[in-house]
Amino acid sequence: MSDLAPESPRLELDCRGMRCPLPIIRLANAVTDVEVGEVIAVVATDVAARADVPAWCRMRGHAYLGERPAPDGVPTYLVRRLR
């Protein structure tokens, strides 16, 4: 996806080395730590996160903004809290 958030994420979750479902559990637990409209970045080495983060967003009513690499090349998935 190319609809990346222009602003910096309000919160970054470092999920490097965590296997499914831990990155999603961390995201679910942290989503209320940011205000509605703010962005959370999930940095995850687990390949399952590429499908899991967008699916979680669809199921929970949040916006998946896309993926971009972290400075070290690890995929970073961007989520906007909508409710």
Whether residue 1 is contained in a domain is answered as no
Q: Which residue has the tokens 């899991």?
A: 52
Structure token pair of residue 68:
């971009």
Both structure tokens of 42: 């999930």
Question: How far is 21 from 32, CA to CA, in rounded Å?
Answer: 19
pLDDT at 6 over 60: no
pLDDT at 50: 98
Predicted pLDDT at 17: 98
pLDDT at 14: 98
Is 2 part of a structural domain of the chain? no
Residue 4 inside a domain? The answer is no
Q: Single out the residue of 13, 10, 6 nearest to residue 27, CA to CA.
A: 13
Print the domain residue range for 18: 11-80
Omega cis (within 30) before 21:
yes
In a domain, 5, yes or no: no
In a domain, 3, yes or no: no
Task: Kindly report, residue by residue over 23-79, the tens digit of the pLDDT.
Answer: 999 999 999 999 999 999 999 999 999 999 999 999 999 999 999 999 999 999 999
Count of the separate structural domains present in the chain: 1
Residue of 11, 20, 30, 70 marked active site: 20
**What CATH code is carried by the domain that includes residue 72?**
3.30.110.40
The answer to whether 15 is a known catalytic residue is: no
User: Does residue 6 lie within any of the structural domains?
Assistant: no
